[in-house]
Amino acid sequence: MKKIISQISKYKELPINYSFYPSDLTDAPIIIYFHGGGLLFGQRDDLPDDYISLLVNSGYHFLAIDYLLAPESQLTTILEVLTESLFHLLKQFQVKTYHFMGRSAGSYLAYYLIRQGFEPQSFLSFYGYYQLTLPEFSLPAPFYLSYPFVSSTAVESFIGTAPLTHGNMNKRFPIYLSSRQSGNWLNYLTTHDKREYFSLTDTDLMTFPPTLLLHSLNDPDVPYRLSKKASELIPNSQLISINGNLHDFDRAVTSETLAVYQQIVAFLNAT
């Protein structure tokens, strides 16, 4: 499988890059992918190759894009730079048909971008959220309290001053863990008075393109009810409910998860 890495734009001295996996069909539609990681960690190439290969072999270009991470960059800046990068990207590739795909925090970014006017042909939302006003996001999370406690002072050395787009799991996940244990995750992203602005309304969702939502019934990180509600509000939507208790149910490639991705291809082909 061919992979092309290139730069879209630059923020200060930091390059904003993408990884492009071309289909053999030159006029194939593009799936634009946003990775997960609570907006604090992760990197664009986190999706297992088996899934990418399945999508590419099914007639879709696949493109994974960088975005800035918090708390070195606030959510306002993350979204402004990502919006600018997408405009450059769509112009550079002369894109006519594209789809958004986001996992967890990446799904949140896609939700917001669609509200701001981007028009993907469809949206693939993996265990995503579209509101920052949920009480669960501002309270200590029971699931993460089952881990050894990590204080905010213990992770201060992991937080830098320069912007970044790649958050090493070993160094950055403790920041997320600590923030979810203490209930102050959102403080890393934005001020309290802006949380509602960065949240979508029911009316917003009613204007969305065809959307496929995938979510574990017992997701311990992002409540399943969010995808359930979105599926009821988005006019042309489908919800695949995974019988399990993993947040990122597709973390490991199995015959079951590959079968789910085959359903995704069927959805894309029908839109």
Which domains does the chain possess?
4-135+189-270 (3.40.50.1820)
Residue 93, pLDDT score: 84
Residue 202, pLDDT score: 97
Residue 26, pLDDT score: 78
Q: pTM, whole model, 2 decimals?
A: 0.97
For residues 83 and 77, give the distance between their C-alpha atoms in angstroms, rounded to a whole number.
Answer: 10
User: If you average pLDDT over residues 36-49, what whole number do you get?
Assistant: 97
Say which residue the tokens 């669609």 belong to: 114
Confidence of residue 3 (pLDDT cuts 50, 70, 90): very high
Residue 78: which region, alpha, beta or left (left: phi > 0; alpha: psi -120 to 50)? alpha
Say which residue the tokens 């669960």 belong to: 136
Bridge partner list, 7: 17
For residues 210 and 230, give the distance between their C-alpha atoms in angstroms, rounded to a whole number.
Answer: 12
The percentage of residues in the chain with a pLDDT greater than 90, rounded to a whole number, is: 94
pLDDT in tens, 66-116: 999 999 999 999 999 999 999 999 998 888 899 999 999 999 999 999 999
User: If you average pLDDT over residues 12-20, what whole number do you get?
Assistant: 96
User: Average model confidence (pLDDT) for the chain?
Assistant: 96
Residue 95, pLDDT score: 86
Residue 37: which region, alpha, beta or left (left: phi > 0; alpha: psi -120 to 50)? left
**Three-state DSSP class for residue 121:** coil
Residue 31, pLDDT score: 98
